[in-house]
Structure 1
Amino acid sequence: MKLSRTWALAALSASAMTLGVAHAEDRSDWPSSFTVGTASQGGTYFAYGSGWANFVADNIGISGGGEVTGGPMQNMALVHTGDLAFGLTTMGPARESIDGNSPLAPGMKMDNVCAMFPMYQTPFSVTTLSSSGIESIADIPAGSRIGFGPAGSTSDTYFPRMLETLGVDFERRNGGWTDLGGQLQDGLLDVIAFAAGIPIPAVSQLEVQTDVNIIEFTEAEMNTILSEFPVSEFTIPASTYSTLNEDARAVSMWNFAIANCDLPESFVYEVTKLTMENNDKMVSIHKAARTSVPENYGKNTFIPWHPGAARWFNENGYSIDASMIQ
């Protein structure tokens, strides 16, 4: 298909900015725009996903942006159906969605979702106001009002189960992270159970406005969670928040960027190439992107890789077996 003069000039201009986008790539089947499914405002997904979308759009010559969603579970569904080109997801919700166990669509196997690249680990952490007197999981009073993030999010899917396993009795509340932070300050919530990449914007904002406690798991609590859920050990560095005087013990899940499997191979190849070859730009979007590096590709053990993404990894010495490629 012959490109219009205006589009050709725009493409040439974008290539001239060159952050690794190929000059001779055939774009005839590329979409005219794209959207990235993130999560609620005030969370890491929104900051990371919106920034990444803008970075990609600025450098490949196609308009794109982030979209507020309910988080990983909903992103799996929207990418599967093609309503979104790209999304961000956590491995636990991804597994449940692929297996047909998503609460959003029970029985539907969301198998038109492909992996693109590793993002970062999502730590599970608890935050309260210092004035609450809550300094440990065991201190949380029976019947406490706990905010678990947007319905269907990673936090909402797994944190209630984790706290129930640890014997905590609570009233479950949902909402965006920024909104929940406001409710905590106003005394409408007792605790927020966060699952998001660090630093979490909503927690950083709370620290500026009031005194908070960031509660870690005890070693025994962590071991209980590790034995019951698909998580791994994680340490929140003391430097993450001004509130922390020392590293905090936590558990975490890995996050991956995902793509609709029907997207053109060359398009996903160029987006993956741009992202994986410019980690400094990604870190400037969000510090959590320090681990958005190709060496972590092996953290995905079950989401099939998009052929475009797999081509970039295989060309650069990161072996993805053909059986793992859609």
Structure 2
Amino acid sequence: MSNRLNHTFIALTATALMTGSVLAQDRSDWPENFTVGTASQGGTYFAYGSGWANFIAENLGVSGGAEITGGPVQNMALVHTGDLGFGLVTMGPAREAADGNSPLMPGMKMDNVCAMFPMYQTPFSITVLADSGITSISDIPDGARIGFGPAGSTSDSYFPRMMDTLGVEYERRNGSWSDLGGQLQDGLIDVVAFAAGIPIPAVSQLEVQSSINIIEFNDQELQAVTDAFPVSPFSIPESTYQSLSDDSQAVSMWNFATANCELPESFVYEITRLTMENNDKMVSIHKAARTSVPENYVNNTVLPWHPGAARWFTENGYAIEPDMIK
């Protein structure tokens, strides 16, 4: 993969892309295929990433798909090394990896991962069976078995520390979101601490099969968590789940799609253009993509922008400082 980015354009009189673009890029340095690092099945990353990869592949005529991974921490490492071209990440793990504090590669600054476009906010929410009697975080009994998602995921990286901050004593369990949902139904665990874009497929499936409570943060808990971690207050709309009778107070962290910084500029430009100019299609893939819009580019203050992505944003009136472009 060349370190030099291709700035060459060839004007064509006929469209070369299904999207109807008049200018077709020189594809001589484009990869023959691509893979997007997502997370476990039953979570939003997998649904969003799989649908997005198929959308891009269909429109660019390049074979592509999604790969199940451990989530943002692993995606940062795989994109940095070039094992994956693209990865979905949350800004907390991204900052730690960029600073050389990734638990997977301690001391290695992952500086070959570039931002491409904003996705959505990941709310941190807690789900229990209604017959557990748990209606608040303070109700969680000492020693409760809590599922924190796949090892190394955003939830697994931050939710245990949040629980520690809130004085909850627990037994830590890991697994895919769909597996943890099944364990909750079977009484093998007591709580699932979800961190995923909403609606979370595993929660939607749970509430069809069982009566559940979605536990919110009270004002004091909200303050304690936002003071200690890179998260912001977030309200889960009542319409998100059948189990909610009102909006639910939570916290959230932004997600961005990332690319290996050495991918060709024209390739990443076209992918960014397709994604940012077709939000209706993205929302049809997953409702969380309602916030996958250009205006939310300001929520990346961590990673350098890929030159191809930066070119699309600047061409469309969104200012990116030159020192934030790789």
How much has 1:302 moved relative to structure 2? 2.0
Contact (CA 8 Å) 2:145, 2:189: kept in 1 or not? yes
Contact (CA 8 Å) 2:14, 2:22: kept in 1 or not? no
Deviations 1:245-294 (A, max 9, x none): 00000000000000000000000000000000000000000000000000
Deviations 1:216-237 (A, max 9, x none): 0001100010111110010000
How much has 1:15 moved relative to structure 2? 3.5
Deviations 1:37-86 (A, max 9, x none): 00000000000001000000000000000000000000000000000000
Q: Which residue matches 2:245?
A: 245
Q: Which residue matches 2:299?
A: 299
Deviations 1:93-152 (A, max 9, x none): 000000010111111110000000000000000000001111100000000000000000
1:20-35 aligned at under 5 Å gives the runs 21=21, 23-35=23-35
1:146-225 aligned at under 5 Å gives the runs 146-225=146-225
1:21-60 aligned at under 5 Å gives the runs 21=21, 23-60=23-60
Q: Which residue matches 1:254?
A: 254
How much has 1:23 moved relative to structure 2? 4.0
Contact (CA 8 Å) 1:14, 1:58: kept in 2 or not? no
Q: Structure 2: how far apart are the matches of 1:132 and 1:289?
A: 33
Contact (CA 8 Å) 1:21, 1:59: kept in 2 or not? no
SS in 2 for 1:104: coil
In the superposition, relative to structure 1, how do residues 35 and 238 fare at CA in structure 2: closer, same or farther (>3 Å)?
same
**TM-score (ref. length: structure 2):** 0.95
Contact (CA 8 Å) 1:21, 1:274: kept in 2 or not? no
Q: Which runs of 5+ in 1 are unaligned?
A: 1-11
CA RMSD of aligned residues (A): 1.3
Q: Which residue matches 1:15?
A: 16
Return the letter of the residue paired with 2:18.
M
SS in 1 for 2:271: helix
How much has 1:21 moved relative to structure 2? 4.4
In the superposition, relative to structure 1, how do residues 104 and 14 fare at CA in structure 2: closer, same or farther (>3 Å)?
farther
Q: Which residue matches 1:8?
A: none
How much has 1:24 moved relative to structure 2? 2.3
Contact (CA 8 Å) 1:22, 1:270: kept in 2 or not? no
Contact (CA 8 Å) 2:127, 2:193: kept in 1 or not? yes
Q: Structure 2: how far apart are the matches of 1:146 and 1:196?
A: 16
Contact (CA 8 Å) 2:15, 2:24: kept in 1 or not? no
Q: Structure 2: how far apart are the matches of 1:14 and 1:213?
A: 52
Q: How many residues align?
A: 314
Indicate yes or no: 2:272 matched with 1:272.
Answer: yes
Contact (CA 8 Å) 1:307, 1:325: kept in 2 or not? yes
In the superposition, relative to structure 1, how do residues 22 and 146 fare at CA in structure 2: closer, same or farther (>3 Å)?
farther
% same residue: 76
How much has 1:321 moved relative to structure 2? 1.1
